[in-house]
Amino acid sequence: MLKIFIGYLFIFIDFDIGGFDIASDFIGFILIYLGINEYPDVVSFRKSTPFMLAMLVKSLVFTILAVFFKEDNTTLSLISAALIIPSAIVSLCYLYYIIKGFGELEEKTGLDLNYQKLFGLWNKRKFVEILDAVFIVITSVFAILNLTPDKINSYDTELITLVSAVISVISVVFVIMLLVIEIKQLIYIYKAKQALDTYQPDEAVLQDYEQPTEE
Q: Any idea where the domains of the chain sit in the sequence?
A: 2-210
Contact 44, 97 (CB under 8 A): yes
Mean pLDDT taken over the chain: 76
Percent of the chain with pLDDT over 70: 68
pLDDT tens digit sequence for 79-102: 776 777 888 888 889 899 999 999
DSSP string covering 58-92: HHHHHHHHHHHTTT-HHHHHHHHHHHHHHHHHHHH
Contact 135, 171 (CB under 8 A): yes
Contact 31, 6 (CB under 8 A): yes
pTM metric for this prediction: 0.75
